Amino acid sequence: MSQKNQTLGEFIIENQTSFKYTSGELSRLINSIRLAAKVVNHEVNKAGLVDIIGAYGDTNIQGEEQQKLDVYANEKFIQTLTNRNIVCGIASEEEDDFITINSQDENNQNKYVVLIDPLDGSSNIDVNVSVGTIFSVYRRVTPIGTPVTIDDFLQKGNQQVAAGYIIYGTSTMLVYTTGVGVNGFTLNPAIGTFYLSHPDMKFPKDGKIYSVNEGNYIHFPQGIKDYIKYCQMEEGNRPYTSRYIGSLVSDFHRNMIKGGIYIYPSTSKNPNGKLRLLYECNPMAFIAEQANGKASDGFTRILDIQPTELHQRVPFICGSKSMVEKAEEFMQQVTVST
Ligand code: P6P
């Protein structure tokens, strides 16, 4: 049984046997994500400083070319996963196509593929609002030792073997699941170690926070408009509170701790919504369900959606189970009545 203040490394070792694929590779994969998270965290936390320094031109005071942080984060996660020779393929929001790792090495017995949003919400960096990294892990479905194909990435979310996020906020946390619950680790920056601070995280079944960009209200489906009005009505434990950080990882993390619902629906401008299925919605949905929450597009469980392309978008409703089910009710009522 995990105990508070256990380090991430100790936790991985202790819980490795509980993971059905106990090859140790997944543990090494989580460890490589841990390393990349620390490197990116260092850079994110000095972003403001770098911006000030970088103001003297295109290079910073060390003469380094100033990189956009999401490009930097993308490079660090890809580099770490590649260098440790753990995965056979990577897909990223920052890469048009998937990346094949060591395909020329027929001895490449690596069986995992990773999909990442290296720095979600990066537009918030300039205003010092928390941002995050999201990752999703699958076992490949094509033969080991051959180059990965798109089929290895277009798997349903219910096939994920691990998923997690790093939130670069007032503190830096790594929250992940391997299908046996959700655990949160907080970084002690002084010594660069993640400690188990939030064991066995669970969404409260109900909540009083709804997170949606109401600036798009007039473009929402009628069911979402009706649900938002329901949240605002004086009745029972309502009105709810509206909280929207504009960073999925931050809104999700707060809702998981306090109870709440996050909604990024389809709009007339974006019929499939904005969020990406493979490296945003699927990993967050896996975590949500492992934490007794729920995630759907209003009609279909996110984890059951068959992906058709790497960067496809889906409407996303996720959070406390009873809140998601109420939003689905409004969505499905309108469909029936229209
Ligand atoms: P909007 C960030 O760009 C992101 O992908 C999520 O992290 C966030 O919840 C959403 O988009 C914000 O989008 O359109 O409300 O600014």
Q: Ligand 1: residues whose CB is within 6 Å? A: 120-121, 213, 246-248, 251, 274-275
Name the domain count of the chain: 2
Residue 108's pLDDT is 73
231 CA distance to ligand 1 centroid (A)? 21
CATH number at residue 233: 3.40.190.80
Strands of 226-327 (E only): list them. 241-242, 261-264, 293-296, 316-320
Closest CA to 328 of 221, 203, 242, 254: 221
Domain check: are 17 and 158 in the same one? yes
The whole-chain average pLDDT of the chain stands at 89
Residue 118's pLDDT is 94
- Give the residue, 12 or 244, on which the prediction is more confident: 244
- Give the residue, 125 or 216, on which the prediction is more confident: 216
246 CA distance to ligand 1 centroid (A)? 5
Residue 109's pLDDT is 84
Domain check: are 242 and 320 in the same one? yes
Domain check: are 268 and 156 in the same one? no
216 CA distance to ligand 1 centroid (A)? 12
Structural domain includes residue 45: yes
Average pLDDT over residues 81-110: 86
Structural domain includes residue 110: yes
In the three-class reduction of DSSP (H, G, I as helix; E, B as strand; rest coil), residue 190 is classed as coil
Domain check: are 157 and 227 in the same one? no
pLDDT interval class at 14 (50, 70, 90): confident
Residue 51's pLDDT is 53
Share of the chain above pLDDT 90, in %: 74
- Closest residue by CA, ligand 1 atom 4: 121
Domain check: are 160 and 60 in the same one? yes
Structural domain includes residue 2: no
pLDDT digits (tens, 9 = 90+) for 29-74: 999 999 999 999 998 887 666 553 333 244 434 344 545 788 889 9
Of all atoms in ligand 1, which is nearest to the CA of residue 249? Answer: 7
Strands of 40-108 (E only): list them. 87-92, 99-100
Say how far apart CA 202 and CA 305 lie, in whole Å: 24
Domain check: are 190 and 228 in the same one? no
pLDDT interval class at 127 (50, 70, 90): confident
pLDDT digits (tens, 9 = 90+) for 295-331: 999 999 999 999 999 999 999 999 999 999 999 999 9
Contacts of 26 (CB under 8 A, 6+ apart): 19, 112, 137, 161, 162, 178
pLDDT digits (tens, 9 = 90+) for 190-212: 999 999 999 999 999 999 999 99
Residue 60's pLDDT is 38
CA 271 to chain centroid, in Å, comes to 22
CATH number at residue 149: 3.30.540.10
50 CA distance to ligand 1 centroid (A)? 24
Say how far apart CA 37 and CA 319 lie, in whole Å: 25
Structural domain includes residue 1: no
pLDDT digits (tens, 9 = 90+) for 222-234: 999 999 999 999 9
Q: Which of 198, 222, 246 is the last residue in one of the domains?
A: 198
Please give the residue range of the domain that contains residue 328.
Answer: 209-337
Domain check: are 269 and 315 in the same one? yes
Structural domain includes residue 100: yes
Residue 289's pLDDT is 98
Contacts of 112 (CB under 8 A, 6+ apart): 25, 26, 29, 86, 87, 88, 137, 138, 139, 140, 161
Domain check: are 160 and 70 in the same one? yes
Say how far apart CA 29 and CA 178 lie, in whole Å: 12
Structural domain includes residue 317: yes
Structural domain includes residue 47: yes
Domain check: are 26 and 162 in the same one? yes
Q: Which of 137, 169, 198 is the last residue in one of the domains?
A: 198
Q: Which of 198, 224, 243 is the last residue in one of the domains?
A: 198
Residue 72's pLDDT is 86
Tell me which H or E stretch contains 67.
none
pLDDT digits (tens, 9 = 90+) for 152-186: 999 999 999 999 999 999 899 999 999 999 999 99
Domain check: are 170 and 262 in the same one? no
pLDDT interval class at 336 (50, 70, 90): low
Domain check: are 36 and 134 in the same one? yes
Domain check: are 140 and 33 in the same one? yes
274 CA distance to ligand 1 centroid (A)? 7
Say how far apart CA 45 and CA 170 lie, in whole Å: 10
Q: Specify whether the CB–CB gap between 326 and 166 falls below 8 A.
A: no
Global pTM value: 0.93
pLDDT interval class at 338 (50, 70, 90): low
Structural domain includes residue 3: no
